[in-house]
Amino acid sequence: MKTINHITWHYPAVTKKHRHALNGHKSCVLWFTGLSGSGKSTLANAVDYKLFQHGVKSYVLDGDNIRHGLNQDLGFRVEDRKENIRRIGEVAKLFVDSGQMISTAFISPFREDREIVRNMLEPEEFIEIYLKCPIQICESRDPKGLYKKARNGKIADFTGISSPYEIPVDPEITIDTEKLSIEQSVDKIFSYFKEKKIL
């Protein structure tokens, strides 16, 4: 046990390695990042469904869903966005410790915040998946009408319009969602799983 300010961390009797052995697969975070409309939630759920079909214990944390509950007290200022990602990182770390494959679908626009989450985990447990897609394509999709609202000044600090998106420097996987279909994108991710012996 380790103690910080009278708060004690209790180490579990059942370890992550025990869970890996029981499940027959490793656990990790699939961190989907990209502009709004790049396809993060769609692809994360498609990967999750295929994992489910293969009997893999997995779950998806979606940006909008999290803001309905855990992070409903946060806005979209830079400070709030950083705290949003920090909390998600902590939750994702718990899922990894439980032996599951966890997919997170968040814009997560700042490299520093993504790197903080990476450093919460062990090497190779954080798989950054950059969904590359021109903003013109994302804006043409605009499934929630957010770009239109941002262009009209109804949404402040909107990523790609009035707030920056910092492209990953060296992501584990880059997927061009303008060119690749959902099926091709899923196959590319599963090829990475096989290459790294995650499944």
Active-site residues, by number, are 108
Q: Is 61 annotated as a binding residue?
A: no
Which tokens in the block code for residue 188?
A: 């590319």
Q: Which residue has the tokens 């013109």?
A: 136
Q: State yes or no: 37 annotated in a binding site.
A: yes
Which secondary-structure segment (H or E) carries 43?
Answer: helix 40-53
Place of tokens 């903003």: 135
39 assigned binding-site residue: yes
What is the rounded distance in angstroms from the CA atom of residue 83 to the CA atom of residue 155?
A: 20
Residue 125 CB contacts under 8 Å (≥ 6 apart), including other chains? 27, 28, 29, 96
- Whether 38 has a binding-site annotation, put simply, is yes
- Binding residue ranges for ATP: 34-41
Which residues fall in the annotated binding site? 34-41
